[in-house]
């Protein structure tokens, strides 16, 4: 596991670039961490570092947003997903291996995550603008 102390938004931005540079194109990245910890912010940083020029926002209502960058990016918000039927209806299983999947609220689909999922847990840091990122399953 790699532990990164991100100081401020620029720290999260830099981490996004580091993660983007380590990706091959079909990873599943599962975020863990409560409300407002920075899941969407880090997703935006990864997408930008991959050359995505679209606006990256939370897919709360759409459940999945699709972006074109160096790879296809599928950005999921599983906040409202509470059953296997719900999960099937998002197309989650069809998207696997076709691009990079980035998943907010992975807690809700933990049993469905592939074995080689990259797990990123976000914890509060020393100040309001600092975050601790625990990253498993990706060589940075």
Ligand X SMILES: Nc1ncnc2c1ncn2[C@@H]1O[C@H](COP(=O)(O)OP(=O)(O)OP(=O)(O)O)[C@@H](O)[C@H]1O
- Binding interface with ligand X (CB under 6 A): 6, 8-9, 11-12, 35-41, 58, 104, 129-131
Number of Cβ within a 10 Å radius of residue 83: 9
Which does residue 107 bind out of ligand X, Mg ion, none, counting CB within 5 to 8 angstroms by kind? Answer: none
Cα gap 127→120, rounded to integer Å:
20
**CB under 8 Å to 3, separation ≥6 — which residues?**
132, 133, 134, 135
Which does residue 12 bind out of Mg ion, ligand X, none, counting CB within 5 to 8 angstroms by kind? Answer: ligand X
Q: Which of 2, 26, 58, 129 binds Mg ion (CB under 5 A)?
A: 58
- The smaller minimum CB distance to Mg ion, of residues 58 and 97, is found at 58
* Contact letters for Mg ion, residues 10-39 (x by CB under 5 A): -----------------------------x
Cα gap 65→95, rounded to integer Å:
12
Tell me the residue number closest to ligand X, measured at CB: 38
Q: Rg of the chain over CA atoms, in angstroms?
A: 14
């Amino acid at each position: 596991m790699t532990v990164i102390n991100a100081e401020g938004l620029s720290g999260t931005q830099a981490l996004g670039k580091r993660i983007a540079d380590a990706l091959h194109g079909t990873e599943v990245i599962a975020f863990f961490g409560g409300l407002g910890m920075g899941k969407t912010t880090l997703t935006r940083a990864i997408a930008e570092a991959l050359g995505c020029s679209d606006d990256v926002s939370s897919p709360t209502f759409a459940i999945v947003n699709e972006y074109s960058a160096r790879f296809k990016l599928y950005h999921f918000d599983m906040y409202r997903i509470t059953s296997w039927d719900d999960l099937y209806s998002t197309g989650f299983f069809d998207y696997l291996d076709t691009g990079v999947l980035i998943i907010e609220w992975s807690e809700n689909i933990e049993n469905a995550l592939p074995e080689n999922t990259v797990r990123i847990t976000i914890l509060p840091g020393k100040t309001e603008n600092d975050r601790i990122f625990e990253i498993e399953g990706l060589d940075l």
